[in-house]
């Protein structure tokens, strides 16, 4: 019998490790530093016997006292010098190697992002590797067949034992060029005529073929565009040829370029020719093309897939988990040489990158709005520098951040070289743009016969309505833009003595009225949604304050949709969901919804496309002859110094959808501010005039891109706690800024103050803005942030958002 007091057997002695690694776990771990610098956030681990992992490899390690299994990236390998004085016997061992990893240059890029954007390095690594890859979604084992490693004499002996029919199948297998071994049995049967699956099995049994298992990913094929693409590359215009010939010699070394081309000038064809030139120069080279998410349609990606068949991976949010895993793996194992994707594609695990292209580089979707708050355009430039390759930033309306870099930098040359495509590739003229004063339009409608009895709200003025009728009469198509979802954006009591307005209970914002999509009765009550926290409720039947009637004011895409059907269903057959399609965040729930809507419009099944900024770029429909901007003022009145720039870009981009073929295009811009420079210059397609004028305004106020900005937002359910946290950070920043003032120029710390939207989702928001005026720049702000960060006073987490180079101030 075993004694109750028997002592447990001693644990076996742990082996003494001689090789170690430093691992950054994919968590928000960050420790305060010494002497103004950050302590390395990596942790030391011992390596068991076996092959040593490489820098960038993803491993699993025990974390904390409970030895929780955690994933991380190896950032250094070596001996005891990695232990910082720790006892080697007490260092925990790496548990497993996951097989996923990042090239060394991506590790260096992650370190730059963590420092520049004030984000824990582990969170950056967590963003770089997609969740579908971490979870191995769609992973499967594939059996592949290859030739058995036999001597010539042994192979000849075994061939004599085959039947004549099987011997003939063997010779056909060797003589055919249609299949390259190793390959699956199914691929062999499909490619080699006269070889059946039974023959493959018998050749395996005869020992002439061998079967090996390879890990793979099983996923549905990517969606193709129904519209198709040209089979042959078009002839370049003189301007396109000049850009291609000028940029080709730059391939192979780091340089940055801005390609400003008017809408329809053929920037994509320039990209394709540059990629082709790169691959001809170096067949092992790879390239990355970034496209805004809403512009990455099958029509766009198909052009690259058709030009470089079998060499392209596509990465965007519309992929299933298995598809994303499959495409990422193809990048990592070298199966593809070109990646076309949205923002996160800049982290594609390619090696030998020779060219990075950022299309529509001005687009705000390249900036991530959560940790890490990186801007893919700027990250692309840094990655190009690390890879030693060329980066091209293309747009019809370049961001002022890129434009200012094409001007001389101090006494030196410009940082970026500027290339221009001033004409459309088809030689079609740019569309005529008419600015329409909405106030005058309302007076015109009021003067029409029967206007006094007309109780309907008209969001389309007589000019735009008449232009749409003529376009439909002539067999053309039209695109109408209103950058506001829903039916009405203001809900209130009709009694002016009451003053009740409907606001979100959890946000400092009004709620938006939406119609039920499935409601057949157009008079049925809809629902109210907050566009910030997404809370929903039914529209009140009466005012909750006084019992009076509730009214809905304002405009949205749903209201325009109903007006269009009411006015055009009998004369032109416009019907919601059929010949009239609405493209916004409410109707386009998935990427496939969006792609199917575009296919219907391309096929001519829909005559009018109404939408938000989702339809402003990346679309090329030859029959679009009219573009109408229902209200160009939606962005102008926002409390943001970039409001004019966004308005100019939006008007220019959506105007460029018109008249791209042989029929002339027309654009009608409705506005209450017809003299606004951003709108006037956009109507003239005068980007240079707008950019230089706007830079002059920004320069006087030292606003970006002339000056530099960092925005810090503290969030808390208790407004006092949010203010206190922001106040302590602001005080620390001011003390550190005072020590940097001796460098010349000035660092200004504004705040703390409530954000324009002071509460979202129940959290109060208090902001601090740090501005560095010339001649100080990003280097000064980085030193300031590094100092307060190293003392543990600023940490990017769920309650403190540090936004370097912010693009939105709400």
531, two tokens: 């566009």
Alpha carbon distance, N-terminus to C-terminus of the chain: 75
Sequence-ordered list of residues with C-beta below 8 angstroms from that of 186, at least 6 positions apart, any chain: 197
Least confident window among 100-104, 120-124, 558-562, 588-592? 588-592
Of 40-49, 208-217, 448-457, 716-725, which gets the smallest average pLDDT? 448-457
Closest CA to 751 of 725, 773, 774, 770: 770
**For range 758-780, the mean pLDDT:** 89
Q: What is the pLDDT of residues 328-372, one digit of tens each?
A: 999 999 999 999 999 999 999 999 999 999 999 999 999 999 999
Parallel, antiparallel, or unpaired: how do β-strands 338-341 and 255-261 relate?
unpaired
Distance CA 265, CA 243 (A): 12
Q: Percent of the chain beyond pLDDT 70?
A: 91
Mean per-residue pLDDT over the chain, rounded: 88
How many angstroms separate the CA atoms of 794 and 726, rounded? 10
Integer Cα distance of 316 and 323 in angstroms: 10
> For residue 524, what pLDDT is reported?
57
Token representation of residue 22 = 């430093």
Please provide the DSSP assignment of 150-177 as one string.
Answer: --HHHHHHHHHTS-HHHHHHHHHHHH-S
CA dist., res. 82 & res. 96, Å (int):
20
Task: Residue 721: name the closest of 742, 697, 685, 752 by CA.
Answer: 752
Q: Is residue 10's pLDDT more than 50? A: no
**643 Ramachandran zone, left/alpha/beta (phi>0; psi -120 to 50):** alpha
Residue 23 is classified by DSSP as E
25-77: pLDDT as tens digits: 998 887 655 444 455 688 999 999 888 899 999 999 999 989 999 999 999 99
Q: For 297-326, what is the mean pLDDT? A: 87
Residue 181 pLDDT: 82
- DSSP per-residue letters across 215-269: EEE--PPPPPPSS---SSPPPPPHHHHHHHHHHGGGTTS-EEEEEEE-TTS-HHH
Burial 722-739 (b: 16+ CB within 10 A, else e): bbebbeebbebbeebbee
Banded model confidence at residue 619, pLDDT cuts 50, 70, 90: confident
295 DSSP 8-state letter: G
In terms of pLDDT, which residue wins out, 631 or 175? 631
Which residues on adjacent β-strands are paired with residue 339?
288, 313
CA-CA distance, 392 to 250, in Å (whole number)? 11
3 state DSSP class of 35: coil
**Tokens 């979202």 belong to which residue?**
760
Peptide bond into 752 cis (omega under 30): yes
The candidate with the shortest Cα–Cα distance to 731, out of 804, 801, 796, 788, is 788
Reading the block at residue 195, the tokens are: 């070889």
Q: Are 601 and 467 in contact (CB under 8 A)?
A: no
The residue among 595 and 475 whose pLDDT is bigger is 475
| pLDDT confidence bin for 113, thresholds 50/70/90 | very high
How confident is the model over 371-421, as pLDDT tens digits?
Answer: 999 999 999 999 999 999 999 999 999 999 999 999 987 778 899 999 999
411 vs 254, more confident: 254
* DSSP for 616-648, written as a single string: SSS---TTEEEEEES-TTTTTTSS-TTHHHHHH
What confidence score (pLDDT) does residue 676 get?
95
pLDDT confidence of residue 74: 96
Quote the CA–CA distance of 462 and 434 in Å, as a whole number: 13
Better pLDDT: 661 or 9: 661
Higher pLDDT, 297 or 588: 588
How much of the chain exceeds pLDDT 90, in percent?
Answer: 61
pLDDT over threshold 90, residue 796 = no
pLDDT for the residue numbered 226: 41
Least confident residue range of 509-518, 525-534, 623-632: 509-518
| Residue-wise pLDDT tens digits, 147-169 | 888 888 888 888 888 888 888 88
Looking at 197-206, 212-221, 512-521, 577-586, which range is the least confident one?
212-221
DSSP code, position 31: -
CA dist 676 and 719 (Å) reads 38
The C-alpha atoms of residue 413 and residue 179 are separated, in whole angstroms, by: 53
Q: CB of 630 within 8 A of CB of 482?
A: yes
Structure pTM?
Answer: 0.89
Q: How far is CA 768 from the centre of its chain?
A: 27
pLDDT at position 594 is 86
The β-bridge relationship of strands 57-63 and 96-101 is: antiparallel
3-state secondary structure of 395: strand
499, 546 Cβ separation under 8 angstroms? no
Confidence at residue 229, expressed as pLDDT on a 0 to 100 scale: 59
Cα–Cα–Cα angle for 171, 172, 175, rounded to 5 degrees: 85
Asked if residue 687 lies in contact with residue 396, where contact means CB atoms within 8 angstroms, the answer is: yes
Task: Say if residue 722's pLDDT is above 70.
Answer: yes
Measured CA to CA, the distance from residue 771 to residue 639 in angstroms comes to 17
- Strands (DSSP E) contained in 598-745 are 608-611, 624-629, 666-671, 708-716
Laid out side by side, the sheet with 20-25 consists of 43-46, 20-25, 68-78, 57-63, 96-101
């Amino acid at each position: 019998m075993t004694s109750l007091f028997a002592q447990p057997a001693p644990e076996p002695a742990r082996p003494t490790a001689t090789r170690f690694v430093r691992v950054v776990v994919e968590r928000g771990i960050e420790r305060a530093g010494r002497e103004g610098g950050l302590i390395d956030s990596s942790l030391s681990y011992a390596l068991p016997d076996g092959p040593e992992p490489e820098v960038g490899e993803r491993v699993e390690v025990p974390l904390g006292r409970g030895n929780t299994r955690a994933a991380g990236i190896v950032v250094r390998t070596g001996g005891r010098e990695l232990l910082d004085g720790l006892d080697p016997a007490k260092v925990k061992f790496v548990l497993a190697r996951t097989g996923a990893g990042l090239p060394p240059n991506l590790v260096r890029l992650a370190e730059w992002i963590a420092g520049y954007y004030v984000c824990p390095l582990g969170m950056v690594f967590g963003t770089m590797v997609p969740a579908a890859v971490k979870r191995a979604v769609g992973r499967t084992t594939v059996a592949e067949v290859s030739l058995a490693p036999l001597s010539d004499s042994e192979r000849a002996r075994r061939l004599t034992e085959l039947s004549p029919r099987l011997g003939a199948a063997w010779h056909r297998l060797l003589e055919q060029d249609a299949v390259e071994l190793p390959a699956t049995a199914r691929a062999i049967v499909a490619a080699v005529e006269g070889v059946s699956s039974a023959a493959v099995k018998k050749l395996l049994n005869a020992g002439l073929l061998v079967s090996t298992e390879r890990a793979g990913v099983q996923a549905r094929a990517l969606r193709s565009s129904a519209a198709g693409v040209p089979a042959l590359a078009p002839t370049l215009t003189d301007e396109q040829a000049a850009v291609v010939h000028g940029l080709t010699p730059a391939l192979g070394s780091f340089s940055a370029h801005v390609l400003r081309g008017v809408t329809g000038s053929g920037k994509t064809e320039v990209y394709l020719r540059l990629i082709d030139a790169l691959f001809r120069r170096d067949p092992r080279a790879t390239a990355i093309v970034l496209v805004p998410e809403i512009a990455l349609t099958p029509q766009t990606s198909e052009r690259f897939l058709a030009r470089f068949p079998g060499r392209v991976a596509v990465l965007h949010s519309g992929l299933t988990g298995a598809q994303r895993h499959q495409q990422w793996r193809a990048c990592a194992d070298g199966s593809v040489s070109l990646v076309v994707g949205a923002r996160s594609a800049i982290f594609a695990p390619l090696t030998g990158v020779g060219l990075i292209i950022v299309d529509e580089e001005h687009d705000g979707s390249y900036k991530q709005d959560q940790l890490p708050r990186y801007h893919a355009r700027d990250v692309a430039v840094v990655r190009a520098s690390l890879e030693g390759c060329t980066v091209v930033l293309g747009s019809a309306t370049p961001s002022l951040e890129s434009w200012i870099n094409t001007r001389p930098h101090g006494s030196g040359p410009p940082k970026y070289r500027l290339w221009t495509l001033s004409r459309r590739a088809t030689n079609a003229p740019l569309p005529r743009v008419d600015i329409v004063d909405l106030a005058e339009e309302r007076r015109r409608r009021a003067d029409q016969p029967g206007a006094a009895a007309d109780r309907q709200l008209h969001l389309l003025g007589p000019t735009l309505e008449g232009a749409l009728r003529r376009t439909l009469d002539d067999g053309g198509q039209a695109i109408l833009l209103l950058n506001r979802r829903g039916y009405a954006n203001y809900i209130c009591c009709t009694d002016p003595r009451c003053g009740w307005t409907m606001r979100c209970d959890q946000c400092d914002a009004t709620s938006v009225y939406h119609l039920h999509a499935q409601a057949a009765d157009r008079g049925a009550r809809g629902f109210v949604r907050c566009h910030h926290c997404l809370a929903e409720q039914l529209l009140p039947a009466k005012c909750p304050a006084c019992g009076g009637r509730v009214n809905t004011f304002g405009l949205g895409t749903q209201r325009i949709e109903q007006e269009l059907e009411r006015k055009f269903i009998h004369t032109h057959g416009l019907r919601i969901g059929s010949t009239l399609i609405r493209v916004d965040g409410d109707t386009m729930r998935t990427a496939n919804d969006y792609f199917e809507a575009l296919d219907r419009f391309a096929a001519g099944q829909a005559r009018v496309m109404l939408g938000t900024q989702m339809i402003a770029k990346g679309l090329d429909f030859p029959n679009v002859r009219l573009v109408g901007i229902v209200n160009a003022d939606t962005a102008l009145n926002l409390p943001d110094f970039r409001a004019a720039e966004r308005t100019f870009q939006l008007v220019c981009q959506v105007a460029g959808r018109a008249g791209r073929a042989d029929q002339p295009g027309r654009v009608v811009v409705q506005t209450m501010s017809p003299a606004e420079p951003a709108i006037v210059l956009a109507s003239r397609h005068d980007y240079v005039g707008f950019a230089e004028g706007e830079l002059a305004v920004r320069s006087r106020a030292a606003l970006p891109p002339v000056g530099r900005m960092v925005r810090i937002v503290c969030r808390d359910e208790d407004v006092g706690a949010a203010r206190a946290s922001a106040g302590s950070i602001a005080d620390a920043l001011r003390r550190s800024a005072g020590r940097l003032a001796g460098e010349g120029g000035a660092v200004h710390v504004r705040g703390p103050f409530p954000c324009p939207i002071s509460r979202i989702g129940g959290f109060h928001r208090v902001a601090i803005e740090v501005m560095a005026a010339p001649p100080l720049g990003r280097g000064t702000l980085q030193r300031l942030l590094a100092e307060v960060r190293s003392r543990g006073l600023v940490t990017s987490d769920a309650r403190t958002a540090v936004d370097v180079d912010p693009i939105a101030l709400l």
